[in-house]
Amino acid sequence: MNEAEFIGHISALATHAGARGLTDDVAVIEIGNETLVLTCDMVVEGVHTLPGADPADTAWKLVAVNMSDLAAKGAEPIGVMLGHMLGDGDDRFIEGLQEALEHFGVPLLGGDTTGGGPPRAWSLTAIGRATHTPVPSRTGAKPGDGLYITGPLGAAMLGFEALRDGTEEDSTAFRRPMARLPQGMALAPHVSAMMDISDGLLLDAWRMASASNATFSLQSVAVPISTSRARQADAMRWGEDFELLFTAPPSAVLLPVKAWRIGAVQPAGHSPLVLDGEPLSGPEGLGYTHDKSKD
């Protein structure tokens, strides 16, 4: 099975309302007067990292991708729980973990260790507190809303290529991505739908439009990128920039968050995504997806 097929099969097991039907990257659970936001992400050696990657960078990315899921829900981090596969470079992993936890202001609460590999895999469960309710989801986009992103795309792609090719270009965006936690908390009261861009703008826009039963009309020339326009298509498909993709009604006040309007929400049509006036036929080729051969 590929990723979408597997999620489709297990969605019948996710009967709790907090699971959001597995259409989102988080679970949302109300306990007393608190609304908790929970997420779990993995990093796999050779899939999310290159051979010989610094374990400190691996630890940072593991924390950052989970913080990005919280950011997309406007959540404030409470703590994380680590699933760690023991192996070479554990001292460097601990150094990177400490750096990431301090940077994002989140404590380690516990977890589990195991042997195994290669390849090695690491998992992190992050717990956050909602700063606004209802917690933003992927399902709330409405016709007439604007479609926005919080920053340029393509820096992670360039960083990956720099590491792969052994050049002197800056690879920080790939090795140590950032999570837009302040932006997410500021936007949460004003957006109609929101998610982070982890698998590519086009694929994630397709997913959010499908979840909202709407069509997103996107203009590529409006998408800010960190590289030349000749690589526009690559930048919109590559992923791992972890900017926020969101929709908001015309009346929304988005300040002080800097954002670029890249399109609009339309009533559901023949395709969830229209790019430069052309309906796209399917999600294949729009971004990164996991399948058995990659995992």
* pTM tops 0.85: yes
Residue 220 and residue 276: Cα distance in Å, rounded? 6
DSSP codes, the chain:
--HHHHHHHHGGG--SGGGGGG-SSSEEEEETTEEEEEEEEEEETTTTS-TT--HHHHHHHHHHHHHHHHHTTTEEEEEEEEEEE--TTHHHHHHHHHHHHHHHT--EEEEEEE---SSPEEEEEEEEEESSSSPP-SS---TT-EEEESS-B-HHHHHHHHHHHT-SS--HHHHS----HHHHHHHTTT-SEEEE-SS-HHHHHHHHHHHTTEEEEE-GGGS-BSS-GGGHHHHHHH-----EEEEE-TT---TTS--EEEEEEEE--SSSEEETTEE---STTSS----TTT-
- Lowest-confidence region among 42-51, 125-134, 155-164: 42-51
| Residues 242-256, mean pLDDT to the nearest whole number | 92
- Lowest-confidence region among 3-17, 235-249, 252-266: 3-17
Residue 94 and residue 99: Cα distance in Å, rounded? 9
The pLDDT confidence band at residue 46, using thresholds 50, 70 and 90, is confident
Segment 59-106, tens digit of pLDDT: 999 999 999 999 999 999 999 999 999 999 999 999 999 999 999 999
Q: In this structure, are residues 141 and 115 in contact, taking their beta carbons and an 8 Å threshold? A: no
Segment 270-291, tens digit of pLDDT: 999 999 999 999 898 898 765 6
The pLDDT confidence band at residue 295, using thresholds 50, 70 and 90, is very low
Length of the chain: 295
pLDDT attached to residue 15: 87
pLDDT attached to residue 294: 43
Q: Percent of the chain scored above 70 by pLDDT?
A: 98
Domain assignments of the chain as residue spans, ordered by start:
3-130, 146-279
pLDDT attached to residue 161: 95
- Could you tell me which residues are beta bridge partners of residue 214? 267
Residue 293 has pLDDT above 50, yes or no: no
Residue partners of 184: CB distance under 8 A and separation at least 6: 70, 71, 72, 73, 74, 75, 194, 244
Q: Which residue has the tokens 């050049």?
A: 167
pLDDT attached to residue 267: 98
Fold classified for 3-130: 60s Ribosomal Protein L30; Chain: A; (3.30.1330)
For domain 146-279, is the CATH number 3.90.650.10?
yes
| Residues 35-63, mean pLDDT to the nearest whole number | 94
pLDDT attached to residue 290: 56
Segment 190-231, tens digit of pLDDT: 999 999 999 999 999 999 999 999 999 999 999 999 999 999
Give the mean pLDDT of the chain: 94
pLDDT attached to residue 256: 83
- Could you tell me which residues are beta bridge partners of residue 216? 265, 273
pLDDT attached to residue 291: 60
pLDDT attached to residue 94: 98
Residue 39 has pLDDT above 60, yes or no: yes
Residue 160 and residue 50: Cα distance in Å, rounded? 8
